[in-house]
Amino acid sequence: MLKFLSPQSRIAARVANARYMASASPSTVSIDLPASSFETYELEQGPELQFETEKETLLQMYKQMVIVRRMEMASDALYKAKKIRGFCHLSVGQEAVAVGIESAITKKDTVITSYRCHGFTYLRGASVKEVQGELMGKRCGVSYGKGGSMHMFTTGFYGGNGIVGAQVPVGAGLAFAHQYRNEKNCTFALYGDGASNQGQVFESFNMAKLWDLPVIFACENNKYGMGTSASRSSAMTEYYKRGQFIPGLKVNGMDVLACYQASKFAKDWTVSGNGPLVMEYETYRYGGHSMSDPGTTYRTREEVQNMRSRNDPIAGLKMHLIELGISTEEELKAYDKEARKYVDKQTKEAELAPPPEAKMDILFEDVYVKGSEPPVLRGRINEDSWSFEKNGFANR
Amino acid sequence: MLKQISRQFKQFPVSRRCLHGSSFRLGATVFDMPAMSPTMEKGGVVSWKIKEGEKFSGGDVLLEVETDKAQIEVEAQDDGVLAKILVPAGTNDIPVGKPIAFLAEQDDDLSTLEYPKLEETASKKIESKPEKAEEKIEPPQPKEEKNTSGSDSGKLGNPKQTLLPSVELLLHENGLSKEDALAKIQATGPSGRILKGDVLAYLGKISPELNVKISEYINNKSHLDLSKIQIRETKASEQSPSSSGDKPAKPEKPAKKEPLKIEKELTLSQAYSKEALQRLLTIAEQHAYSAKLYQEDSEVIDPLFEEIVAPPRNAERFKTQFIVTPSDNSVSTLKLTLLVNESILDAKQRAQLFLDEVKDQLTQDNGGVSSSPQLEELF
């Protein structure tokens, strides 16, 4: 609510907050979200608009968002220097979704997303060096330089997926694993507004509801698919209602606090046996769909600049941090600089790292998890069969 | 209010521990020529949209770049100041990765800013290194294919093969193991592969010759037989000068064919200036080139098709030279020489049209032209 008040009433609100805080523990703050943060579908009770959270959590979110944005900007520069080749989808502008989800879940929960996955990979535990190394095809990369932009995996993160929408059924499977093992964990299966019209998404909805799987189908609606606005490609753009028989929740994806609160609600809701939930994070990407899209042919530059200056998730949280007295402008600025320094250093290290050696055993090493491989991996022709026992071709 | 905030601060040591003071500063960053498409090697700076020393924020257009395909606006990723422009607008063919400007942060003081030293060839070196390394990689040694690829009829099976499902089933039904099969059965398949027929022949159900016949047939038909092709002999007349030359090893190009030469003499009853004649010839040439060589009102001929199959309109069919020689009294002779490029289908036809046109023009002007009959026989 703070955002929309006049300066005078802001101060009043701050005083009220301070008074409120006096009764609460000193390390927590009370957050009041605007009523427009959420919209529900077939849900009796949505997330609470007022909640308490640790100050450190807020600061952590800020740092994470800044690092993710810096990392994506560094990737952009590397791509334009031709050091990253092929596909590269950046999430500049959409950081609040990834950071909000990550802050709301634990490392035991699982996440799977589309090819716009660099931020998630970092947040789930990979270092910036590992992500950048992967993008440049270096051995230090998170997939040992053999996956590239769309194929990053780390503990509790089951990847970007190169196929539009294909991660959604896999996410339902991950949730099934949680249910099967009686774990109190959930899966976030993310997809874009473009992928939401894929058939397999609806197949997953059906099966997840049938078995009441603890899965959150989270649509990251950045308003444009590959060169097409959502309203030109989807008959119904209220993606949180797409579940029909599954309750839905729409969140302001440009406000990290709303994302955090909604994701926390979604986790609690699904793990307490209510079955799946369809979520829509309404966000915006500042760049093109991928590096080969200038991003200004199907929308105006003014629209992008308007979003940047009014709804930026980082600037939004920055304002909250200052207003709540958690940090000062100078401290945050210093942190921005340090984040830039850190990302630049990690990127430089990744740049200087060697690519994987051109050896056959390196090519085959990651087909199976070590210890679970069959004796022979059958090849296209007899001569291509690879023996894991011999560590060489079986029939050559 | 401020006091309140600062008090809260003391209660929250984490923030101070993690955050630095703003004492350190980063120097200017180099802005390199961006590759706006994966195929872009060079580009031009069309214009700078931000002036030197001017502030910009993320998403603003910094400059317009001309690539091999289009003009693209380059956006700033972050807020900053354009500290210095290294490449002025209008410069073309700037290789990707070459520094074109220095950027700084918005609160940096431009007068005290440290500029990093530019390594002119740094980007090129990095790019060229891996290429050299690649060259060093030895070409894969050709495997001794002869041993395995020949489908000799008298051979036993290749022990490394995975048996075909049909073969495996047949062996199983007849109580034979894989080892037995490899030790006893003659393989006729490619690379020493045991085929179903081989097992059947081994079991005595079909005659072994059949398998040999089939494998020979396949062997013969599996590649294109070029043995019967004869190379056409080159003409003796063309070869002889080259063989007598100093360098017999280097095949000389066939002698260039002389262009067809058409000469025509026309008498001019009237005095023409050189310019007037030239104009007349140019008009005639235009007529000759634009004339349609097909019947326009025919039902069988489609003009569109004719246009498509015709040689290019502007291809040069002939070259014209002319000399005016004053002969008796007032009558002078116009001598036209046409060099016809015969490689163009309709060149001769159009040359003829041109001569007719010239004749007509002169007739219109003079009311009569005589031409030498001997030369006319040429056509």
Please check the confidence at residue A262 and state whether its pLDDT lies above 70: yes
Please tell me the predicted confidence (pLDDT) of residue B132: 43
Please tell me the predicted confidence (pLDDT) of residue B22: 40
Q: Among A62, A82, A88, A341, pick the best mutation site for testing chain B contact (most B Cβ within 10 A).
A: A82
Please tell me the predicted confidence (pLDDT) of residue B26: 62
* A127 lies in the same domain as A235: yes
Please tell me the predicted confidence (pLDDT) of residue A67: 97
* A332 lies in the same domain as A367: no
* A125 lies in the same domain as A175: yes
pLDDT tens digits, one per residue of A326-351: 999 999 999 999 999 999 999 999 99
Q: Percentage of chain B with pLDDT > 90?
A: 11
B60 touching A (Cβ < 8 Å): yes
Query: Chain A: residue nearest B105 by CA?
Result: A337
Please tell me the predicted confidence (pLDDT) of residue A273: 93
Please tell me the predicted confidence (pLDDT) of residue B212: 87
* A114 lies in the same domain as A237: yes
* A255 lies in the same domain as A316: yes
Which of A83, A158, A175 lies closest to A120, judged by CA? Answer: A158
Which of B258, B254, B259, B256 lies closest to B238, judged by CA? Answer: B254
* A346 lies in the same domain as A379: no
Residue A352 CB-half CA count within 13 A: 5
- Mean pLDDT score, B20-41: 73
Please check the confidence at residue B305 and state whether its pLDDT lies above 90: no
Residue A224 carries which DSSP code? B
Residue A10 lies in a domain: no
Least confident stretch, B33-37, B203-207, B310-314 = B310-314
* A289 lies in the same domain as A368: no
pLDDT tens digits, one per residue of A14-57: 444 444 444 445 789 999 999 999 999 999 999 999 999 999 99
Per-residue 3-state assignment (H helix, E strand, C coil) for A153-214: CECCECCCCCCCCCHHHHHHHHHHHHHHCCCCCCEEEEEECCHHHCHHHHHHHHHHHHHCCC
Which of A222, A157, A158 lies closest to A195, judged by CA? Answer: A222
Please check the confidence at residue B232 and state whether its pLDDT lies above 90: no
- Name the pTM for this structure: 0.64
Please check the confidence at residue A241 and state whether its pLDDT lies above 80: yes
Residues of B in contact with A79 (CB under 8 A): 35
Per the structure, the count of domains in chain A is: 2
* A197 lies in the same domain as A285: yes
Residues of B in contact with A341 (CB under 8 A): 24, 26
* A82 lies in the same domain as A187: yes
**Which residue carries 């590096």 as its tokens?**
A291
CATH of B260-372, one of 3.40.50.1260, 3.30.70.380, 1.10.230.10, 3.40.228.10: 3.30.70.380
Residues of B in contact with A385 (CB under 8 A): 162
Spell out the domain ranges in chain B: 2-135, 144-221, 260-372
Please check the confidence at residue B144 and state whether its pLDDT lies above 60: no
- Mean pLDDT score, A256-262: 97
Q: B158 to chain A, minimum CA–CA distance in Å?
A: 10
Residues of A in contact with B5 (CB under 8 A): 325, 328
Q: Percentage of chain B with pLDDT > 70?
A: 72
* A247 lies in the same domain as A379: no
Please check the confidence at residue B319 and state whether its pLDDT lies above 70: yes
Please tell me the predicted confidence (pLDDT) of residue A268: 96
Please check the confidence at residue B272 and state whether its pLDDT lies above 50: yes
Please check the confidence at residue B217 and state whether its pLDDT lies above 90: no
- Mean pLDDT score, A353-372: 91
Q: Percentage of chain A with pLDDT > 70?
A: 94
Residue A12 lies in a domain: no
B208 touching A (Cβ < 8 Å): no
CATH code for residues B2-135: 2.40.50.100
Mean residue pLDDT of chain A comes to: 91
Please tell me the predicted confidence (pLDDT) of residue B115: 81
Give the Cα separation of A280 and A250 in Å (integer). 5
Please check the confidence at residue A96 and state whether its pLDDT lies above 80: yes
* A375 lies in the same domain as A346: no
Q: Tell me if B32 and A80 make a contact (CB, 8 A cut-off).
A: yes
Please check the confidence at residue A278 and state whether its pLDDT lies above 60: yes
Q: A7 to chain B, minimum CA–CA distance in Å?
A: 13
Residues of B in contact with A76 (CB under 8 A): 77
Residue A245 carries which DSSP code? S
Q: What is the phi-psi region of residue B66: left when phi exceeds 0, alpha when psi lies from -120 to 50, beta otherwise?
A: beta
Q: Tell me if A335 and B20 make a contact (CB, 8 A cut-off).
A: yes
- Name which residue leads in pLDDT, B232 or B164: B164
Please check the confidence at residue B5 and state whether its pLDDT lies above 50: no
Please tell me the predicted confidence (pLDDT) of residue B221: 82
Identify the band that residue B25 occupies on the pLDDT scale cut at 50, 70 and 90: low
pLDDT tens digits, one per residue of B151-174: 444 678 888 888 899 999 999 999
Please check the confidence at residue B121 and state whether its pLDDT lies above 80: no
Please tell me the predicted confidence (pLDDT) of residue B254: 55
Per-residue 3-state assignment (H helix, E strand, C coil) for chain B: CHHHHHHHHHCCHHHHHHCCCCCCCCCCEEEECCCCCCCCCEEEEEEECCCCCCEECCCCEEEEEECCCCEEEEECCCCEEEEEECCCCCCCCEECCCEEEEEECCCCCCCCCCCCCCCCCHHHHHHHHHHHHHHHCCCCCCCCCHHHHCCCCCCECCCCCCCCHHHHHHHHHCCCCHHHHHHHCECCCHHHCCCHHHHHHHCCCCCHHHHHHHHHHHHHHCCCCCCCCCCCCCCHHHHHHHHHCCCCCCCCCCCCCCCEEEEEEEEECCCCCHHHHHHHHHHHHHHHHHCCCCCCCCCCCCHHHHHHHCCCCCCCCEEEEEEEEECCCCCEEEEEEEEECCCCCCHHHHHHHHHHHHHHHHHHHHCCCCECHHHHCCC
Identify the band that residue B16 occupies on the pLDDT scale cut at 50, 70 and 90: very low
pLDDT tens digits, one per residue of A79-93: 999 999 999 999 999
* A250 lies in the same domain as A368: no
Residue A279 lies in a domain: yes
The ipTM estimated for the assembled molecules is 0.74
Please tell me the predicted confidence (pLDDT) of residue B154: 61
Identify the band that residue B220 occupies on the pLDDT scale cut at 50, 70 and 90: confident
Q: Percentage of chain A with pLDDT > 90?
A: 84
Handedness of CA A303, A304, A309, A310 (dihedral sign): positive
Mean residue pLDDT of chain B comes to: 75
Please check the confidence at residue B243 and state whether its pLDDT lies above 70: no
**CA distance readout (Å), A355 to A75, A131, A254, A360:** 17, 14, 37, 14
Q: Among B162, B168, B191, pick the best mutation site for testing chain A contact (most A Cβ within 10 A).
A: B162
| Residue A365 belongs to domain spanning | 360-393
**CA distance readout (Å), B115 to A253, B25, B62, B83, B135:** 39, 12, 20, 9, 37
pLDDT tens digits, one per residue of B59-109: 889 999 988 788 888 988 888 899 989 999 988 899 998 999 999 888 877
B64 touching A (Cβ < 8 Å): no
Residue A111 lies in a domain: yes
Please tell me the predicted confidence (pLDDT) of residue B106: 83
Least confident stretch, A119-128, A139-148, A153-162, B181-190 = B181-190
Please check the confidence at residue B123 and state whether its pLDDT lies above 50: no
Please check the confidence at residue B247 and state whether its pLDDT lies above 70: no
Residue A256 lies in a domain: yes
Please tell me the predicted confidence (pLDDT) of residue A354: 96
Q: Give me the CATH number covering residue A169.
A: 3.40.50.970
Q: Which of B5, B18, B21 sits opposite A325 (nearest CB)?
A: B5
